[in-house]
Amino acid sequence: MWHISNETAQKELYSHIASAAESGWDFSSRWFTNVNDGLKSIQTRQIVPLDLNCIIYKVETILSDFYSNIMNDTTTGMNYKNKASKRFSDINDFFWNEDFGSWLDYDMSKQDHNKEFYASSFFPFWLLSNSDNKQMKIRFKKAYEKFKSLNVFSYDGGIPTSFIDSGEQWDFPNGWPPLQYVAVHGLLNVEDEDMRKSAKFAAKNYIETAYLTWKETGHMFEKYDVTKRGKGHGGEYDVQEGFGWTNGVALNFLSIYSNELSSTVNSGSVKNYISFSFTILQSITVLFFHTMM
């Protein structure tokens, strides 16, 4: 632990920590200027995040449809449509790095992209892939090939959050269920056969990881270690059991691939997956009624 006596510096540090916590990625090398210094070097407000802008773009398109088609307010609907159109162009121009071959966060303090892989790079696949923009289609393919060259899809436990082992929980070797969902659905959205194969492979690995860990411990976990198919670790607290998004993503993948699953886990894997899915549903039902009481 370190001590900062200057009140201005304390407030500045707190603002970066609070911003990282609000991002959901609390904490990650994504926000650090120096990985070795960890939280001492956190500069979250200097980072323009790719995933946040993709989410805002999607919200703007939804609001455009809502006002235009449900509220019959074409003026407001057009306003949001124009905002979404501009943001789409900005994402494609501002966040794309041709040399790296992917969309990346932008570091304002360095006036350059952060040229490291983070699973947030799948957000354009997930939220921007319904466009007929030819340039985007080319870039989806190039980014996918970049991910393959980095061995993003090579881990038995799923897709890693990053390749930087910082000791923080939103970094290697952890794989987070929401990011598995974004990656798999993003790859499916592009409607490319190679990407579909990678999506299925990633979904299968996630399901097997969740299943094997549940079988061994009796629990689902908020995150997993992609290198050894076990519960995740790192960060400021012990790994949490549960877990809403873990259960939801497992059920979603099981519903998509229920007729296609094959596994190296054991010969009775499909039967076990069915039992596994009922266990997840049971845990969600118990949690629901518990919170309603």
Residues annotated catalytic, as ranges: 26, 222
Residue type, 2: W
Q: Which residues pair with 221 in a beta bridge?
A: 241
**Residue whose pair of structure tokens reads 């802008």 in the numeric block:** 53
Q: Which residues fall within 8 angstroms of residue 14, CB to CB, at 6 or more apart?
A: none
CA atoms in the 13 A half-sphere facing the CB of 233: 8
CA 28 to chain centre: 13
Q: Which residues fall within 8 angstroms of residue 184, CB to CB, at 6 or more apart?
A: 199, 202, 203, 206, 253
Concatenated DSSP letters for 188-251? Answer: HHHT-HHHHHHHHHHHHHHHHHHHHHHHHHS-EES-EETTTTEE---SSSPPPEE-HHHHHHHH
